[in-house]
């Protein structure tokens, strides 16, 4: 996203698929992630199947509603659930 127009970051749009080469769409949209102080934002993807690979793409949206380019796909693989629900924390950028 170009920053030269004076618009500030509003949020990030997060998309998920089981396919690495997916095209983000309304069907793969999972969350608007609000930025936090001193960090991009955090989202924990819950209710996922265990031992499953999930692929994600993200893009920034400014306060004028203009969306930037999508990120390259990144992924995570779910593990066995612990005391909390199974999920992938996308806040670290590693999807682990």
Q: Which two tokens stand for residue 95?
A: 């999807």
pLDDT digits (tens, 9 = 90+) for 43-96: 888 889 999 999 999 999 999 999 999 999 999 999 887 655 555 666 544 444
Domain that holds residue 14: 9-86
Position 42 confidence tier, pLDDT thresholds 50, 70, 90: confident
Q: Which two tokens stand for residue 93?
A: 């950028």
Contact (Cβ atoms closer than 8 angstroms) between residue 16 and residue 30: yes
**Is there a domain that residue 94 lies in?**
no
Distances (CA, A) of 64 to 9, 33, 70, 73, 93: 9, 16, 17, 25, 25
**Is there a domain that residue 3 lies in?**
no
Report the SS3 class of residue 91: helix
CATH, residue 46: 2.60.40.10
Q: Which two tokens stand for residue 11?
A: 């949020």
Domain total in the chain? 1
**Is there a domain that residue 1 lies in?**
no
pLDDT digits (tens, 9 = 90+) for 10-31: 999 999 999 999 999 999 999 9
């Amino acid at each position: 996203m170009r920053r030269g127009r004076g618009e500030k970051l509003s949020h990030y749009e997060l998309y998920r698929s089981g396919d690495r080469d997916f095209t983000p769409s309304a069907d793969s949209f999972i969350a608007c992630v609000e930025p936090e102080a001193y960090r991009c934002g955090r989202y924990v993807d819950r209710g996922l199947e265990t031992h499953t690979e999930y692929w994600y793409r993200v893009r920034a949206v400014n306060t004028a509603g203009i969306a930037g380019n999508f990120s390259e796909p990144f992924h995570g693989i779910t593990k066995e659930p612990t005391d909390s629900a199974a999920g992938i924390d996308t806040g670290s950028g590693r999807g682990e």
